[in-house]
Amino acid sequence: QVQLVESGGGLVQAGGSLRLSCGNSGHTFSRNAMAWFRQAPGKEREFVASIGWIGGSTYYAESVKGRFTISKDNAKNTLYLQMNSLEPEDTAVYYCAARLQGPASATPSRYVYWGQGTQVTVSS
């Protein structure tokens, strides 16, 4: 059974940094596109960043471009999201997700596997 598990969330002041990790058991995701999404209270889940399995191409939401970096360590079977210059607007539950096949996408419904989420809170 495939299970994605996020970690690394927490409370940080504006301007600070956090690194989220997403590990998994039951499957090797070296050939799967993966992504990070987030959901703030009362809002829909939104795309944050994605990484393809071919060449590791990365894509970012405009709101995080230049501040967040997505990466993947296939040897450790772990996905990361380095978040710098955090803003209160970044406060949300962050989810990692993996596609069964196909390229990376910003559409949540294209992802089959999801983690349970990790809370990120940025204070002003």
Q: What is the pLDDT of residue 109?
A: 95
Structure tokens at 98: 């993996």
**CA–CA dist 124, 85 (Å, integer):** 12
> What is the mean pLDDT for each group of 10 consecutive residues in the chain (124 residues)?
89 98 82 94 96 87 98 90 98 96 93 96 97
Residue 20's nearest CA partner among 88, 71, 85, 74 is: 71
The reported pLDDT for the residue numbered 59 is 96
Q: pLDDT value at position 58?
A: 95
Amino acid at 36: W
Q: What is the pLDDT of residue 101?
A: 87
Q: Strand, coil or helix: what is 16?
A: coil
Identify the helix (H) or strand (E) that includes residue 48. Answer: strand 46-51
Residue-level pLDDT at 42 = 95
